[in-house]
Amino acid sequence: MDTNSDEGKIELLRRMTLIRAFEERVIELYHKGEFAGLVHVGIGQEAVGVAVAASLNADDYLYGTHRSHGHFLARGADPDKMMAELAGRATGYCKGLGGSMHLVAAEINAMGATGIVAGTLPLALGTALACQDEDKIVAVYFGDGASNTGGFHESLNIAALWKLPVVLVCENNGYAEFTPMSEHTVVEHVSAHCGPYEIPSHIVDGNDVFAVLEALEDAVQRARSGGGPTMVECLTYRLRGHYVGDPAEYRQAQEVKEWQEKDPLLKLSTTLQERGLLTVADVSQIMKEAENRIQQAVTFALDSPYLDATAMLDEVFS
């Protein structure tokens, strides 16, 4: 996607809007009892996913977290198959066997989401090792909470040691589940851990899609040219609780309000309007189209069958 062009910039907003619409419907359906399990929405963090997707080639790999609906949709995942997966249907990407936290959409090289914090970092490193000679790179997401896990540090060490072609995307939303960062670690930014391994890093406003894009350009270029890993730490905020249903009483209303004013969709649509690329009506239209597309996905999902229980037994081994 050429984000230098006007059309490209508008496409960024389209994707963010699609993600927002998807996530809002997911919350609604969850509360209605149509979805079960543990679901984590990324409302408020859309700019990061969209910027990462825009920076990668189609055959690059992507690894997510437990909060990856947006990461996958930004990359071009089919909303029908995504919604069906969350609804546990056979028509979902994973035939209903993975669910929200374990999305895999191999057709777009989105290789995995996981419920294990920092769990995809080693996977991403392995994939990067496997495709080192193929001019492909791997982008992997993780949060501030992940930065305290042993696997995170082991991964930074190995990525740097072997100069693996990875882009380390940190969505620092200030909270590891219910715990603010100041209570779970001593460093101010996750990037502080890059220093000892000499991994270059950027700290950017994660809600400013252009700032994220700029930082990613450097990271992607470094990975592709054999220069090894870069960390792009995106300071952002999840406007909803940790999981759907979390009342998030551990956060102050004032803090949430401040971040709502910095909503990435709001930022981008305002910017685009200011640049004369869109009118208010255009923005409304984009929103309507997104909502329609997601409604289509919801209908598709809820009309789909479940996998036969015995068929499930065939999915254990290759």
Partner 1 sequence: MATALSNAALRAALYRMLLMRRAEEEVIDLATNHENEIRGHYHVYIGQESSGLGACLALGPDDYVWTTHRNHGHVIARGGEPGPVIAEVIGRTNGYNKGRGGTFHVIAKHLGILQTSGIVGGCVPMAVGAAFSIKTRKTDQVSLVFFGDGVLEEGAFHEAINMASLWKLPVIFMCENNSVPPEGREQGQYPSSSLAATQLIDVPNAMNIESHIVDGSDIRAVAPLLSDLVVRARNGEGPFFVESRLTRWPGNMGAFPELIGGPYQIGWVWDPSTADAALQSWLTDSDPIALFARALVEEGVMSKAEVEADDAKASAEAADAKAFALSGPIPEPESAMDYIFA
Partner 2 sequence: MSQERFIDSLRDGISEEMRADPRVIIFGEDVAVGGAFGVTGGLADEFGDKRVINTPISEDTIMGMAVGASIAGKRPIVEIMFMDFMTLAMSQLVNHAAKLHFMSGGQLDVPMVVRVQQGAQGGWGSQHSQSLEAWFAHVPGLKVVAPGNAADAKLMIRAAIQDDSPVIFIEHRGLYFKTDPDDLPVNDIKGFHEARVVRQGSDVTIVSYSRMVADALVAAEMLGAKGISAEVIDLRSLVPIDMPTLIDSVQKTSRLLIAHEAVMQGGLGAEIAAQVQREAFDYLDAPIERVGAPFVPVPASLALEKEFVPDPAKIVAAVKRMFGRD
Nearest distance, CB of residue 304 and partner 2, angstroms:
13
Q: What gap in Å lies between CA 35 and CA 28, rounded to an integer?
A: 9
Which of 160, 248, 256, 277 is close enough to bind partner 1 by CB under 8 A? 160
Dmax (CA) for the chain in angstroms is 57
Applying CB under 8 A, the site for partner 1 has a residue count of 24
Site for partner 1 in 135-154 (CB under 8 A): 148-154
Q: What gap in Å lies between CA 119 and CA 140, rounded to an integer?
A: 10
Nearest distance, CB of residue 14 and partner 2, angstroms:
26
- Are 306 and 90 a contacting pair, CB within 8 Å? yes
User: What Cα–Cα distance (Å) separates residue 280 from each residue in 8, 262, 286?
Assistant: 18, 18, 10
Site for partner 2 in 39-78 (CB under 8 A): 61, 63
Residue 282 neighbours by CB under 8 Å, 6+ apart: none
According to DSSP, residue 306 is labeled P
Site for partner 2 in 99-118 (CB under 8 A): 99, 102, 104-107, 111-112, 114-116
Indicate the residue among 185 and 271 with the shorter CB distance to partner 1.
185
The pairs formed by 128-131 with CB atoms below 8 angstroms and a separation of 24 or more are 128/61, 128/159, 128/164, 128/165, 128/166, 129/162, 129/164, 131/61, 131/165
Strand partners, 233: 170, 203
Indicate the residue among 60 and 263 with the shorter CB distance to partner 2.
60
Other beta carbons within 10 angstroms of residue 284's beta carbon come to 12
Binding mask 139-168 for partner 2 (x = CB under 8 A): -----------xx--xx-xx--x-------
- Are 170 and 120 a contacting pair, CB within 8 Å? no
Nearest distance, CB of residue 202 and partner 1, angstroms:
17
Q: Is 187 in the site for partner 1 (CB under 8 A)?
A: yes
Q: Is 219 in the site for partner 2 (CB under 8 A)?
A: no
Which of 19, 83, 156, 232 is close enough to bind partner 1 by CB under 8 A? 156
Which residues are near partner 1 by CB under 8 A?
Answer: 148-154, 156-158, 160-161, 183-187, 192-193, 195-199
Which residues are near partner 2 by CB under 8 A?
Answer: 61, 63, 92-99, 102, 104-107, 111-112, 114-116, 119, 121-131, 150-151, 154-155, 157-158, 161, 315-318
